Copies of this chain bind each other. A is one copy, B any other.
Amino acid sequence: MTGSRPTGDELVEVLAALSNPLRLRIVATLAGGRDYVSHLARVIGVSRPLLHMHLQRLEAAGLVVGSLELSEDGKAMKYFEVADFDFTLTPSALAEAVLTLTTADQKRGPAREEPS
């Protein structure tokens, strides 16, 4: 992962995933060790459904990895851990990533302005 060259779309997804204080806190907490959802929710102090949603976003971006495991007493536990990502944000790195942006170019239409 270190020094990877993400595509524009991947980069946007990663940045969007990390541009939220709570999600940043989740990654930071998991950087201290893996944890399962319910416990992590109590540690961070958010509701479990909310944490579940944010973890989904982080996992979709490839920043955390989850695995469903069975504890000794038979409970289904979903453990999450951080992926060891390494992204560099510089003007030239962004310029390179933009080359591979698909972006479905919004729904922006004619783009002419102030038609007089």
Q: Which one, B30, B86, B101, B106, contacts A89 given CB within 8 A?
A: B86
B98 in contact with A24 (CB, 8 Å): yes
B86 in contact with A31 (CB, 8 Å): no
Copies in the complex: 2
A25 in contact with B89 (CB, 8 Å): no
Q: Which one, B11, B30, B49, contacts A24 given CB within 8 A?
A: B11
A103 interface hit (Cβ, 8 Å) = yes
Find chain B residues with CB under 8 A from A76 CB. Answer: none
B12 in contact with A95 (CB, 8 Å): no
A28-51 with Cβ < 8 A to chain B: 28, 30-32, 41, 45-49
B85 in contact with A88 (CB, 8 Å): no
